[in-house]
């Protein structure tokens, strides 16, 4: 599978809420750079992160554009996040079903046909302004 097809399938699985397929596309030693946060390593850590995110947020991605390097070792994606804040995330405003729309992006490393690194970016201040009372 090409890196373009891998990233396209990664986001299709995310949008379908198919966590088995989504997590199955990750390299066992996945490196995850969380937006404005820490770096986590390993599939277990990424799985815990996604469980937390799915508990607090309901999201669909649209307008997805995927770009890849010539050798397929790197990729980037830009997209629009359409979300609903469904459970309060620690340190953030209280959740009560607020809806939000954000532009976001991600950078990837691909190794052995799997996502080996993902670094996500979005404007946290914009998100807070959309969900804060």
pLDDT values of the chain reduced to their tens digit, one per residue, 133 residues: 899 999 999 999 999 999 999 999 999 999 999 998 899 999 999 999 999 999 999 999 999 999 999 999 999 999 999 999 999 999 999 999 999 999 999 999 999 999 999 999 999 999 999 999 7
pLDDT of residue 37: 85
Domain ranges of the chain: 3-131
Query: HSE (CB half, 13 Å, CA atoms) of 130?
Result: 17
Tell me phi and psi for residue 119, to 5 degrees: -120, 120
Domain 3-131 in this protein, CATH class: alpha beta
């Amino acid at each position: 599978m090409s890196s373009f097809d891998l990233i396209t399938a990664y986001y299709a699985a995310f949008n379908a809420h198919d966590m088995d397929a989504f997590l199955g596309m990750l390299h066992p030693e996945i490196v995850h750079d969380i937006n404005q946060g820490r770096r986590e390593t390993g599939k277990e850590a990424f799985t815990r992160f996604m469980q937390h995110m799915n508990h607090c947020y309901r999201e669909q991605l649209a307008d997805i554009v995927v770009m890849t390097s010539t050798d397929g070792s790197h990729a980037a994606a830009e997209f629009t996040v359409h979300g609903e804040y469904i459970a309060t995330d620690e340190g953030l405003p209280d959740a009560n079903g607020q809806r939000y729309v954000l532009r976001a992006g991600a950078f990837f490393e691909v190794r052995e046909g799997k996502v080996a690194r993902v670094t996500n970016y979005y404007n946290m201040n914009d998100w807070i302004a959309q969900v804060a009372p």
